[in-house]
């Protein structure tokens, strides 16, 4: 995955997701956060 390209904010988002394993729609959230990370570059 291209988490490294997201930078520090990407890692913060990723940690926030990893801290919530109850999320059933995790893939969708990851997609949205990945798009946010790409747009913030």
The dihedral through the CA atoms of 22, 15, 1, 34 has a sign that is positive
- Confidence (pLDDT) at 20: 67
pTM equals 0.35
17: exposed, middle or buried (C-beta count within 10 Å: 0-12, 13-18, 19+)? middle
Number of C-alpha atoms within 13 angstroms, CB side, residue 24? 0
pLDDT tens-digit series, residues 1-41: 454 565 777 777 777 777 666 666 678 778 888 888 777 66
Q: Where are the domains of the chain?
A: 3-39
């Amino acid at each position: 995955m291209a988490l490294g390209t997201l930078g520090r904010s990407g890692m913060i988002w990723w940690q926030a997701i990893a801290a919530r394993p109850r999320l059933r729609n995790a893939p969708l959230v990851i997609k949205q956060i990945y798009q946010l990370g790409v747009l913030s570059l």
